[in-house]
């Protein structure tokens, strides 16, 4: 089926390659200490570029799964190029998630690709298309946390270690939030094909507000506590401690000044 897509519609975008280059250079700056007193800013650039790269991969996973399920229109829309500028809702997909990372250290998902569902047959395929995005976040979290769960942190500079931990935290928060079965999120997309047409019609008007409603609920202290308890449970399974994630976020907030990390680590 991919042979029906022109090569130009499948070629990796220079915009995405530039994002990967920024990720690599900023990662080197954090690792080597070349940024000096600007290490916090380097961590900020590293995490934000890594986060945007993961968003591109998230949406690419939706589009690629849709392509193999019957929707060849994703090629003409530019979704297979990994170019974030080609997404249907660039504001929701890129800008707002980055703002929420800066505000609260939460990897808030956003809508992006438009799938022509009428081209796709079978409820399982519809569910898999929706699940592909957050599953990509889980995979990304496993990759960036690999030095932790593989016990390969010897020789890794602390700022780089903390930056990886915070990036992993964002991926886990994004995966969990995306799997919440609320209209407008991928979790609802997974179960929607299995609901009756009456239920879907009743729920449809609430879809544009689902994302904001979930974010609003996270400001409720009790819900926030339960949510982050779950996040840190997953991170611990990946070998990432709350200590590492906390200091990653402190370095990320470079505008607050250089964090003073105690010489001896601990558990938060």
The token pair at 266 is 């601990």
Distance CA 133, CA 130 (A): 6
What percentage of the chain exceeds 90 in pLDDT? 65
The model's confidence at residue 264, banded by pLDDT at 50, 70 and 90, is low
With a cut of 60, say whether residue 73 has pLDDT above it.
Answer: yes
The model's confidence at residue 3, banded by pLDDT at 50, 70 and 90, is very low
Q: What is the mean pLDDT of residues 188-205?
A: 92
The token pair at 40 is 């916090």
The model's confidence at residue 105, banded by pLDDT at 50, 70 and 90, is confident
C-beta of residue 83 within 8 angstroms of C-beta of residue 63: no
Q: Which of 208, 144, 207 is nearest to 174 (CA)?
A: 144
pLDDT value of residue 2: 46
With a cut of 90, say whether residue 5 has pLDDT above it.
Answer: no
The token pair at 110 is 């956003």
Does the active-site annotation cover 59? yes
pLDDT value of residue 89: 65
Give the three-state DSSP class for 132: helix
With a cut of 80, say whether residue 93 has pLDDT above it.
Answer: no
With a cut of 50, say whether residue 107 has pLDDT above it.
Answer: yes
Distance CA 34, CA 16 (A): 25
The model's confidence at residue 1, banded by pLDDT at 50, 70 and 90, is very low
Q: What is the mean pLDDT of residues 206-216?
A: 82
Q: What is the mean pLDDT of residues 35-42?
A: 89
Residue 36 region by backbone torsions, left for phi larger than 0, else alpha for psi between -120 and 50, else beta: left
Distance CA 94, CA 55 (A): 7
Average pLDDT, the chain: 89
With a cut of 90, say whether residue 65 has pLDDT above it.
Answer: yes
DSSP codes joined into one string, 75-103: HHTTGGGT-GGGSTTHIIIIIHHHHHHHH
Q: What is the mean pLDDT of residues 237-263?
A: 92
Q: What is the mean pLDDT of residues 216-226?
A: 91
Q: Which of 237, 37, 36, 252 is nearest to 162 (CA)?
A: 252
Q: What is the mean pLDDT of residues 113-129?
A: 91
* pTM exceeds 0.75: yes
CA 82 vs CA 10, 112, 176, 230, 263: distances in Å: 9, 12, 23, 30, 41
Residues 145, 245, 60, 216, CA torsion sign: positive
The 8-class DSSP code of residue 195 comes to S
DSSP codes joined into one string, 141-165: HHHHTHHHHTT--TT--HHHHHHHH
CA 159 vs CA 26, 34, 46, 87, 252: distances in Å: 12, 12, 11, 33, 10
């Amino acid at each position: 089926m991919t042979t029906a897509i022109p090569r130009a519609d499948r070629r990796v975008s220079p915009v995405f390659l530039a994002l990967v280059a920024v990720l690599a250079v900023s990662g080197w700056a954090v690792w080597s200490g070349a940024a000096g007193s600007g290490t916090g800013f380097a961590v900020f650039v590293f995490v934000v570029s890594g986060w945007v790269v993961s968003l591109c991969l998230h949406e690419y996973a939706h589009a690629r799964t849709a392509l193999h399920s019957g929707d060849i229109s994703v090629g003409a829309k530019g979704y297979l190029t990994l170019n974030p500028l080609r997404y249907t809702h660039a504001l929701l997909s890129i800008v707002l998630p980055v703002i929420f990372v800066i505000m609260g250290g939460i990897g808030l998902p956003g809508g992006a690709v438009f799938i022509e569902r009428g081209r796709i047959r079978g409820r399982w395929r519809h569910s898999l298309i929706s699940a592909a995005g957050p599953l990509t976040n889980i995979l990304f979290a496993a990759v960036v946390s690999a030095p932790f769960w593989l016990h390969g942190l010897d020789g890794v500079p602390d700022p780089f270690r903390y930056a990886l931990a915070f990036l992993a935290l964002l991926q886990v928060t994004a995966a969990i939030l995306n799997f919440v079965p609320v209209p407008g999120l991928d979790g609802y997309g997974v179960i929607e094909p299995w609901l009756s047409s009456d239920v879907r019609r009743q729920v449809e008007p609430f879809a544009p507000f689902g994302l904001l409603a979930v974010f609003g609920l996270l400001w409720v202290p009790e819900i926030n506590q339960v949510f982050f308890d779950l996040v840190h449970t997953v991170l611990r399974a990946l070998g990432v401690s709350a200590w590492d994630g906390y200091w990653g976020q402190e370095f990320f907030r470079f505008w607050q000044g250089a964090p003073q990390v105690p010489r001896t680590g601990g558990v938060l």
